[in-house]
């Protein structure tokens, strides 16, 4: 496999075992700030994927609720392959802290009674949401909490 510029393109997707959370990279700024990018893999690559309405709602719920547990979330964005998300945080190198924030955030998802910003004013595809689907994904992840640290 030829070395690629994108870190995840260098990851052998046939060897990983979802679900997991792994540090995918660290980017240091000119002033010493560091962005830690995590790969939250929910579905097994090339075997299964998240349905778009569920993924979309989980994105909204995690993006909104994670910031209640961590003040330096830069972004939570879905992977185009629909198997997971990237979580970027500023100046927090504690893997265990990220796992705790994720666990709290997923519990928030289970307790939600609506998807935040699920309307045409605040969302680019407001018709494509599923709170129930997002909650099922969160439940699946939390049920396998003890596997999050095992990538392979």
What residue numbers does the annotated binding site for Fe cation cover?
Answer: 56, 60, 123
Kind plus residue range of the DSSP H or E element containing 24: strand 20-28
Closest CA to 132 of 146, 117, 150, 114: 114
Residues 53 and 128: beta-carbon distance below 8 Å: yes
Query: Annotated binding residues, as ranges?
Result: 56, 60, 123
Q: Residue 62: count other Cβ atoms within 10 Å of its Cβ.
A: 26
Helix and strand element counts for the chain (H, E): 3, 4
**SS3 label, residue 70:** coil
Q: Pinpoint the alpha helices (H) of the chain.
A: 52-66, 95-111, 131-143
């Amino acid at each position: 496999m030829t070395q690629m510029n994108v870190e995840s393109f260098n990851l052998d997707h046939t060897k990983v075992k979802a679900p997991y959370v792994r540090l995918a990279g660290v980017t240091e700024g000119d002033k010493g700030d560091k962005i830690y990018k995590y790969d939250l893999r929910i579905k097994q690559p090339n075997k299964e994927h998240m349905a778009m309405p569920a993924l979309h709602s989980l994105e909204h719920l995690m993006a909104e609720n994670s910031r209640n547990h961590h003040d330096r979330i830069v972004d939570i964005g879905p992977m185009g392959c629909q198997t997971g998300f990237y979580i970027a945080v500023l100046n927090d190198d504690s893997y265990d802290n990220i796992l705790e924030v994720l666990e709290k955030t997923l519990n928030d998802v289970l307790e939600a009674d609506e998807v935040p910003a699920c309307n045409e004013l605040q969302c680019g595809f407001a018709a494509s949401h599923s709170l129930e689907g997002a909650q099922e994904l969160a439940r699946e992840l939390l049920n396998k909490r003890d596997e999050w640290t095992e990538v392979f």
